[in-house]
């Protein structure tokens, strides 16, 4: 039976982001929090530079962490509701958040529909309890059986063009990022949409952060050029090392031959001296 618990990373009116999440499931260790937070921070990176939201799902120890990163005022517009209670902090800054759920007991090919209204309602339910607190706090929640209305049978495959660099699957960012998210969520795989920072993409590749991401076509071109150059540099180093190795081996062979010749001459001289007596 699928069970879920909320997980939220957000400012409140007075407090900055809680490094242990303002809402999380019970039983998360510091190691769990650190591992998940690292991925959430990449998902929240440069969020003010993208026009829409970012979708993320992570597979961790058999559990799936899945949700949205966006500004709350934009999420309200998506939901077409009149709700401005939790959109700005005391400094007047627009609040963005990661809003999601931790899912357990989900098998492959089970689809869960995390739509805008569900996520906004989840946010409002818990942020209202912490909004005016002046000390950082975390609400820890129990897992509960999932509402059956969130489960659907839409398991359609992805038909978009796929590129790959090393072990990372790459899609070009498009309006179908939610479809990509739904697909990877149904497969219990890690995915993050709409990554725009080139250094973040490097980190994702080098540290194996996600299985798949979506990025702009310009970033795809930059990645191809960089990794093609790195491969060329690796090949050149390989050739250079082999040349040096061959030279060293040749020197060793010459020295060995000289020593054998010298030993032979010495033995011959000794034999001549021995028999002349």
* Dihedral sign of CA atoms 80, 84, 85, 88 in order: positive
How does residue 154 score in pLDDT terms, banded at 50, 70 and 90? low
Would you state the pLDDT for residue 102? Answer: 97
Strands (E), the chain: 3-10, 23-25, 54-60, 63-71, 96-104, 111-112, 139-141, 144-145, 151-152, 163-165, 168-172, 191-195, 212-215
pLDDT in tens, 8-38: 999 999 999 999 999 999 999 999 999 999 9
Q: What is the mean pLDDT of residues 59-69?
A: 96
Would you state the pLDDT for residue 235? Answer: 46
Would you state the pLDDT for residue 155? Answer: 60
Q: Look at residue 168 and tell me whether its pLDDT is greater than 50.
A: yes
How does residue 236 score in pLDDT terms, banded at 50, 70 and 90? very low
Q: Look at residue 231 and tell me whether its pLDDT is greater than 90.
A: no
Would you state the pLDDT for residue 243? Answer: 43
| Region of 266 on the Ramachandran plot (φ > 0 left; ψ -120 to 50 alpha; else beta) | alpha
How does residue 131 score in pLDDT terms, banded at 50, 70 and 90? very high
Q: Look at residue 233 and tell me whether its pLDDT is greater than 90.
A: no
Least confident of 29-38, 54-63, 214-223, 251-260: 251-260
Which tokens belong to 273? 């001296």
What is the end-to-end Cα distance of the chain in Å, rounded? Answer: 101
Q: In percent, how much of the chain has pLDDT > 90? A: 63
CA distance 188 to 80: 30
CA distance 164 to 225: 13
Helix then strand then coil, in percent of the chain rounded to 5, is 45, 25, 30
CA distance 275 to 65: 90
How does residue 234 score in pLDDT terms, banded at 50, 70 and 90? very low
- The whole-model pTM stands at 0.81
pLDDT in tens, 70-129: 999 999 999 998 877 899 999 999 999 999 999 999 988 888 999 999 999 999 999 999
């Amino acid at each position: 039976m699928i069970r879920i618990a909320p997980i939220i990373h957000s400012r409140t009116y007075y407090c900055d982001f809680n490094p242990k999440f303002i809402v999380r499931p019970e039983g998360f260790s510091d190691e769990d929090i650190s591992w998940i937070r690292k991925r959430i921070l990449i998902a929240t990176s440069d969020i003010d530079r993208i026009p829409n939201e970012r979708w993320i799902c992570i597979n961790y120890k058999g559990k799936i962490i899945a949700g949205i990163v966006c500004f709350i005022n934009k999420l309200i517009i998506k939901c077409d509701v009149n709700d401005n209670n939790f959109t700005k902090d005391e400094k007047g800054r627009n609040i963005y958040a990661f809003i999601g759920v931790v899912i357990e007991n989900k098998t492959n090919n089970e689809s869960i529909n995390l739509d805008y209204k569900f996520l906004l309602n989840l946010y409002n339910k818990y942020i209202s309890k912490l909004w005016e607190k002046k000390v950082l706090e975390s609400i820890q929640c129990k897992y509960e059986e999932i509402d059956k209305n969130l489960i659907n049978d839409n398991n359609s495959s992805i038909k978009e063009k796929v590129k790959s660099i090393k072990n990372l699957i790459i899609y070009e960012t498009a309006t179908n990022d939610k479809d990509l998210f739904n697909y990877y969520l149904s497969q219990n795989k890690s995915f993050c949409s709409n990554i725009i920072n080139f250094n973040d993409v490097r980190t994702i590749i080098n540290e194996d952060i996600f299985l798949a991401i979506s990025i702009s076509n310009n970033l795809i071109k930059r990645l191809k050029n960089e990794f093609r150059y790195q491969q060329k540099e690796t090949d050149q180093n390989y050739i250079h090392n082999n040349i040096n190795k061959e030279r060293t081996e040749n020197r060793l062979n010459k020295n060995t031959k000289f020593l054998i010749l010298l030993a032979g001459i010495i033995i011959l001289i000794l034999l001549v001296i021995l028999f002349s007596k």
